[in-house]
Structure 1
Amino acid sequence: MALHHRLIGKAAGLYWRVRKPRTLGVRAVVLDPDDRVALVRHSYADHWYLPGGGVNKGESFEGALRRELQEEVALHDVRVERIVGVYHSRREAKDDHVVIFAVRVSGEAAAAMRRADVMEIEQVGWFPLDGLPADTSPATRRRLAEYGANAVGLGAW
């Protein structure tokens, strides 16, 4: 993991502890035709995660979802299936609300998935839901279990 990303993360954490901002975010359970899920490894974190990010001021949740998928993994043509859940996180001293979407991509789009932002994303990959990498984040595992159970997730991240 790049040292400058860790330093930026520490500075952001200090800012969040002082300001206690409310943030909005999106993540996606992106599935290909073989029901494999797309996961990313960020340059500033140690686990595999669902792709996604923050919602900008004036941007809709769907707009943020589509932008983040383009910026992180070069997916442009996604079909939103449903909302998996809405979650609240108090980690990192933020008041964070995250909407998780389930989306599908075609085989052609899945084959074209790549690291679009090489500074932020270290790795991308497709994984079977029953064969996730050992270092998949606990929250990602919980979201995927909720998706698999066709449950609506609410509450704490």
Structure 2
Amino acid sequence: MAIHRVAVSAIDKALKFYWRLFKPRTYGVKALILHPRDPELFVLIRQSYGDQNRWGLPGGGYRPHKESAEDAVRRECMEELGLAFGPAADVLEELVTTAEGKRDHLTIFRVTAQSDQLRLNGEVAEAVWTPLDYSRIPRGMPVSRFADLAVSAHRRTDT
């Protein structure tokens, strides 16, 4: 597992260097995954590469000519957490960010997991089901702005 995390970290650093140089257009997805029995709980993760202290949403990149954003978010959640979810996948936010030097088109989905059992892969250092107020995250730990955006959008659109 340690070798895998080292490789993931090296790839992450190489990609960030490339992005700063060439500023490519990329596509990404994130998921606000709600608990199957308690819609006040959702998953936050800490990745094993990049900013390992920051809690955020699971997700990743995709190529729109190969798969849809919804297919990508389903794939990423299965790969990172072993989680599948039902047919409803609501788009909470769509935005373009240049935070890492690239032009990343990001779609944030809201989904409900079919199970609460998390199976982490090497990209995820830790995952937790937490209330919408982040109260299961250790005090003082940073939370991704995309998690904040997703929680705010979820609260606005929750019916």
TM-score with structure 1 setting the length: 0.82
- The partner residue of 1:34 within 21, 38, 41 is 38
Taking only aligned residues, the RMSD between alpha carbons, in angstroms, comes to: 2.1
Task: Spell out the pairing of 1:6-155 with structure 2 (5 A cutoff).
Answer: 6-32=9-35, 33-35=37-39, 36-44=41-49, 45=51, 46-56=53-63, 57-106=65-114, 109-110=115-116, 112-115=117-120, 117=121, 119-132=122-135, 133=137, 134=139, 135=141, 136-150=143-157
* Higher mean C-alpha deviation, range 95-104 or range 78-87: 78-87
After superposition, what is the alpha-carbon deviation per residue over 1:82-107, rounded to whole angstroms, capped at 9, x for unaligned? Answer: 1101011001110001111110123x
After superposition, what is the alpha-carbon deviation per residue over 1:43-72, rounded to whole angstroms, capped at 9, x for unaligned? Answer: 112211111111134111111011001000
- Secondary structure of 2:12's aligned partner: helix
Query: Alpha-carbon deviation of 1:16?
Result: 0.7
Partner Cα distance (1:4, 1:67) in 2: 21
77 and 137 in structure 1: CA distance in 2 versus 1, 3 angstrom threshold:
closer
Query: Alpha-carbon deviation of 1:78?
Result: 3.4
Query: Alpha-carbon deviation of 1:5?
Result: 4.6
- Are 1:80 and 1:101, in contact at CA under 8 Å, matched by a contact in 2? no
User: What is the total number of aligned residue pairs between the two structures?
Assistant: 146
Q: Identity across aligned pairs (percent)?
A: 34
- Are 1:29 and 1:38, in contact at CA under 8 Å, matched by a contact in 2? yes
- Are 2:57 and 2:146, in contact at CA under 8 Å, matched by a contact in 1? no
More strand by share: 1
